Amino acid sequence: MGVASKRSGGRAAAKEGQKRLSAADWASAALTAIGESGLAGVAVEPLATRLGATKGSFYWHFRNREALIEAALKLWEEGHTERVITQISVDPDPAIRLRHLLALVVGYSRHDHIEVALLATADHPLVAPVMRRVTERRVAYVASLFEELGVPADEARRRALLAVSVYLGHVQLAHAAPETLPQESDEWQRHLAAISTALLP
């Protein structure tokens, strides 16, 4: 009876642990899989194995794979755009915010496998509207910083488009030809300074 009790207790604990697995846990695992293998990496059974969960846990939170992808994309949008904007917006000086933003996102672009994967599937019906919304949000936010610096709205929009293009270009370069980017720390800092000088009024 003691062994049986321990086994049933272990199963109960395992089930309890699976109950505590949240939709956010699944979305985070799916987003990691996208960074590793693209949308094809979002498959229920491998993700369940990774999470130590069952398929039943998945269907408790999501009706199908598409719903999981949507949740992962929402998580990406919040973490890679909205959270960055919140972090940058703390400083009252728009010029400092712009420099910090450029340094942060261009620096991060060297390791951003998720954005590379999403750009590769930007025409997918689930990905396309999110990419459009995120891109417009980024451009609009950067344009607002230039406007705070006294740049007219049309010119601010043009500079913002250039800034976002620089970021996306770095994402692609870091993926396709990382050796073309500065490797040494001092050289990288000079590179960032040159970008800021080119973009800031």
Predicted confidence at residue 111, as pLDDT, reads: 85
The pLDDT of residue 31 is above 60? yes
**What are the CA-CA distances from residue 80 to residues 2, 87, 137, 138, 174 (Å)?**
51, 11, 11, 10, 17
Token match 């996306």: residue? Answer: 168
Is the Cβ–Cβ distance between 19 and 25 less than 8 Å? no
pLDDT digits (tens, 9 = 90+) for 46-72: 999 999 988 888 999 999 999 999 999
Which of 128, 163, 127 lies closest to 143 in space, CA to CA? 163
Average pLDDT of every residue of the chain: 88
* Number of CB atoms found within 10 A of residue 80's CB: 18
Q: Transcribe 74-96 into DSSP letters.
A: HHHHIIIIIHHHHHHTTSS-HHH
Please give the pLDDT value at position 17.
Answer: 45
Q: Which of 111, 106, 129 is CA-nearest to residue 188?
A: 106
- The sign of the torsion formed by the CA atoms of 192, 195, 200, 201 equals positive
What's 66's DSSP letter?
A: H
Contact 26, 61 (CB under 8 A): yes
pTM for this model (two decimals): 0.84
